[in-house]
Structure 1
Amino acid sequence: MNKFAVGAVVGAISCTFALEAAATEWNVSVWGKRRAFTEHVEKLAELVAEKTGGEFTMNVSYGGLSKNRENLDGISIGAFEMAQFCAGYHADKNRVVTVLELPFLGVENLDQEVAVARAVYAHPAATEEMAQWNAKLLMTSPMPQYNLVGTGEPRDELAEFEGMRVRATGGLGKAFEAVGGVPTSVTATEAYQAMEGGVVDTVAFAQHAHLSFGTINQADWWTANLNPGTVNCPVVVNIDAYESLSDEHRAALDSSIPEAIDHYLANYAELLQRWDSVLEEKGVQKVEVAPEVIAEFQSVAGKPIHDAWIADMEAQGLPGQELYDLVVKTLAEAKGGS
């Protein structure tokens, strides 16, 4: 082979390596099935691929990479590059963001939920705690206030919560416990079986999850306005993977987050608009809890649980009061601008 042919072969090989080096493929661990809760992840993957001409792709796996309670562990060891998890699944690993799971914070809509989550995620304490798991907080998975579905007679008086076996995690679990309920933190994917088997009487979920995980199909009633709180479920990326991205690919990822969240919010709004028709279709009674019952619930499970959380965090060396005040301040600003 003459030197010109050799040069051509070497050049072709070098070009191939360059193309391979330019390509980035990430694995993303979520669970269940594609639903409103994962639409921002799907949109993010779509936008990043578009912006990079297909050089940066994300493979979104629904349970194929890890169990939902183990996603943060998987991120920490680099088993995959991106994952979604819920703070209540392992509150000891993500103490800072559990401030967003406190009951009766007063969040009224998903825009406000996004605002308070962004503020907490940007706090140095959140960044530092997640770094212990080699994780970077990328975006939240905003969910409306949770409400109960249950079997039998509706529970619309506080006395009826006594002994109620409820699927509720994090701060929500503590709220129901404060009024005599018996919370269990089975995962979302286990909730239907828990309800079907009589392990729980009621399940606290956002609307999309009652649909996706089938609990609405077991339900006789739904509390339309109890609104005790919600859970916080971040999407995180492995720090090493994030930092190894080229400038172009990192910019494509970062710049796509706002649009991914906007897509999520628009999609969820459509689901909420048709929720009443879903209840009617499935024969589920819509229960309106009396204002005085909600006020009583809030007095028992609101401020006392907030104060206990602050004290617990401060005792662990975390800025509990500062984080709580940040949520209150950000929420007031969000309401003022809405």
Structure 2
Amino acid sequence: MQKLLLGTALTAMTFSFATETMAKEWNVSLWGKRRAFTEHVEKLAELVSEKTNGEFTLNISYGGLSKNRENLDGISIGAFEMAQFCAGYHADKNPSITVLELPFLGVNSLEMEREISMAVYNHPAVQGDLARWNAKLLMPSPLPQYNVAGVGDAPKTVADFDGLTVRATGGIGRAMEAAGAVPTSMSATEVRQSMDSGVVKAVAFAPHAHMSFGTVENATWWTTNLNPGTVNCPVVVNADAYADLTDAERAALDSSVSEALDHYISSYDTKTMSKWGPLLAEKGISEVTFTDAEIETLKAKVAAPAAAAWIEKNTAAGLPAQELYDLVVDMVAAKK
């Protein structure tokens, strides 16, 4: 009896100790490999672990938890606690944030992209839109303006895009379509194979993605100043998981977002853009620069109609679309 009581007591003490010291781990669904596009998530994981002495950690997976186009679905059912996705992958599921993917908005820096994205994310209508998927917007993944890398004869004018198959999503796709190209939507991980097989002849990406997904390996030309827009790729968390955090854990997560984004932007500028020019030269990729008049003509053809169509469609869907659009363009104008 004495041994039984002693064993019971030890078991209770062990269970109590384990309960008090049990660490919390969140699974994070990304894709591809670690690159400039994921540095803020990597930094966030580092900071959260430091601030909680390892009691709250982020377990980052590159493709092991979900396909990139299914990350929002995974968040909605609690398959993992944090994920990154791009709005253009499923505009119908997150229409509010696609305002940030409209073509030719005039955003010209990662800092501006960050500030405007956070302002949109904090709008009640946007939060309600993502709440339908049990998702809480945490931070953006600021990206520079996209440009096009392709194979074959380099376009000499915007008109030379006529009939060219281009991987381009969202507003960038609409801009390319207005230039006469044939936009095709596919995930980043499918691009290299599609380019190699001839399914597409060109790809619209930010510089880091051209490097990470191998388009520079066979591209022969690159546009320097098309700048039709960019994609918006937020990092979100499962709302229930966020609510279940302790006050200390939540504070560690929330207080790390700004520093993680600072690190992301600094890293993108110093590590990615510094390599881009030399890489183009090394690969013998010719640079195509269009005249200001051509860019302005394309912008006039695309920007206003795309914005009007977006506002009409999303107003009908119950979103304060004009208000969201005005928020973005007013912030851009204030920065000029």
Task: Bin the TM-score by the shorter chain.
Answer: over 0.9
Distance in 2 separating the partners of 1:313 and 1:12: 56
Structure 1 SS opposite 2:310: helix
Distance in 2 separating the partners of 1:82 and 1:201: 34
Q: What residue in structure 1 maps to residue 97 of structure 2? A: 97
Offset from partner CA, 1:35-76 (integer Å, 9 cap, x none): 000000000001000100000111110100000000000000
Structure 2 SS opposite 1:317: coil
Structure 1 SS opposite 2:256: helix
- 2:71 alignment partner AA: N
**Structure 1, unaligned runs of 5 or more:** none
- 1:62 alignment partner AA: Y
- How far is 1:248 from its partner? 0.4
Q: Percent identity?
A: 60
- 1:87 alignment partner AA: A
Structure 2 SS opposite 1:274: helix
The answer to whether the 8 Å contact 2:158/2:290 transfers is no
Aligned Cα root-mean-square deviation (Å): 1.3
Distance in 2 separating the partners of 1:70 and 1:282: 34
Aligned residue pair count: 333
Q: What residue in structure 1 maps to residue 302 of structure 2? A: 301
Query: 13, 17, 20: which one pairs with 2:19?
Result: 17
Q: What residue in structure 1 maps to residue 232 of structure 2? A: 232
- How far is 1:317 from its partner? 1.4
Q: What residue in structure 2 maps to residue 219 of structure 1? A: 219
Distance in 2 separating the partners of 1:132 and 1:45: 26
The answer to whether the 8 Å contact 1:119/1:330 transfers is no
1:63 matched to 2:63? The reply is: yes
Q: What residue in structure 1 maps to residue 143 of structure 2? A: 143
Structure 2 SS opposite 1:154: coil
TM-score, structure 2 normalization: 0.96
- How far is 1:246 from its partner? 0.5
The answer to whether the 8 Å contact 2:138/2:236 transfers is yes
Distance in 1 separating the partners of 2:89 and 2:215: 19
- How far is 1:10 from its partner? 2.6
Q: What residue in structure 2 maps to residue 33 of structure 1? A: 33
TM-score, structure 1 normalization: 0.96
Distance in 1 separating the partners of 2:80 and 2:309: 36
- 1:228 alignment partner AA: P
Distance in 1 separating the partners of 2:182 and 2:303: 18
**Structure 2, unaligned runs of 5 or more:** none
The answer to whether the 8 Å contact 1:192/1:214 transfers is yes
Structure 1 SS opposite 2:49: helix
Q: What residue in structure 1 maps to residue 170 of structure 2? A: 170
- How far is 1:158 from its partner? 2.3
Structure 2 SS opposite 1:60: strand
Distance in 2 separating the partners of 1:43 and 1:228: 30
Distance in 2 separating the partners of 1:209 and 1:130: 26
Distance in 1 separating the partners of 2:15 and 2:191: 53
> After the TM superposition, which segments of 4 or more aligned residues of structure 1 sit over 3 Å from their partners?
2-9
Distance in 2 separating the partners of 1:11 and 1:80: 31
